[in-house]
Amino acid sequence: MKPLIGITTSVNLRDYETLGQSVIMVPESYSKAVKEAGGIPLLISECGDSDELLDVLDGLIISGGRDINPGLYGEELHEKTIDINEKQDEWEKSLIEGAIERDMPMLCICRGHQLLCVIRGGKLLQHLPTTKGFEKHGETGGKWSNHKIKLIPESLIYGLLGGEVIGNSGHHQGVYDAGDLDVVGRTSDGLIEAVELQSCRFLVSVQWHPEMCGHVEIFERLIQVSSQ
């Protein structure tokens, strides 16, 4: 049987059927990538006890989205850290912790990457464009740019993508401390763009969007391990 892969989503107000309607949404690129890699994608949103949901999933993707509450890493709100949702943070935290506990294959992307690092004792820079050394990291505010990420040879992701990968960049926050996670990829400015927890069968976390960059190998491996 194909593995069931849960993909997290965001709740936002959008002009959809009516103006300012509360909707659950996530870019379609994630579910397409999972489907193309041979998995069954399901989208998930806060629904109480995450254990029951984890019981039926074979793999997990923590997707991109809004900024994380800086209180989770002991900081005050920066003026550019907006639209946080503490309930979403808490629920996704419980999913991540549950997945690690049961060694469930998990891929964390963008916000997911940042949240994983924070949960494991790491810290974020809240606004790269005004942080010394990172002003030119990449585009933000709705634009995308590309940058080179160097991956270390002793990592799962190096085995999938090689030593150097071009990843897209549209994020204004970034990871400078990954807690107890294994740092496996950085851009030239030193920002942590990829981490793994190598004691797990598959726990890969990236700052960029592999589903937008054609990095199918990551999804294929996720599906493969989730099928075991």
Q: Does 48 bind another protein (CB under 8 A)?
A: yes
Among 37, 44, 150, 169, binds another protein (CB under 8 A): 44
* Distance from C-alpha of 197 to C-alpha of 219, rounded to nearest angstrom: 17
Q: How far is the CB of 201 from another protein (least distance, A)?
A: 21
Among 20, 38, 52, 192, binds another protein (CB under 8 A): 52
Backbone angles phi, psi at 31, to 5 degrees: -65, -35
Q: How far is the CB of 219 from another protein (least distance, A)?
A: 15
Q: Are 149 and 167 in contact (CB under 8 A)?
A: yes
Q: How far is CA 228 from the centre of its chain?
A: 23
Nearer to another protein (CB atom), residue 19 or residue 199: 19
Q: How far is CA 50 from the centre of its chain?
A: 18
* Distance from C-alpha of 30 to C-alpha of 8, rounded to nearest angstrom: 10
List C-alpha distances in Å: 2 to 44, 62, 183.
18, 20, 31
Q: Does 213 bind another protein (CB under 8 A)?
A: no
Q: What amino acid is encoded at 127 in this protein?
A: H
- Which range of residues in 48-56, 99-107, 115-123, 179-187 is near another protein by CB under 8 A? 48-56
Would strands 145-151 and 182-186 be described as parallel, antiparallel, or unpaired? antiparallel
Nearer to another protein (CB atom), residue 139 or residue 182: 139
Q: How far is the CB of 35 from another protein (least distance, A)?
A: 7
Would strands 174-177 and 123-125 be described as parallel, antiparallel, or unpaired? antiparallel
Contact map string, positions 131 to 160, toward another protein, x by CB under 8 A: ----------xxxx----------------
Q: How far is the CB of 53 from another protein (least distance, A)?
A: 6
Question: Running DSSP on this structure, what letter comes out for residue 194?
Answer: E
Q: Does 14 bind another protein (CB under 8 A)?
A: yes
Q: How far is the CB of 95 from another protein (least distance, A)?
A: 13
Q: What amino acid is encoded at 26 in this protein?
A: V
* Structure tokens, 13: 């107000």
Residues that bind another protein (CB under 8 A): 1-2, 4, 6, 9, 11, 14, 16-19, 21-29, 31-32, 35, 40-45, 47-48, 52-53, 55-56, 141-144
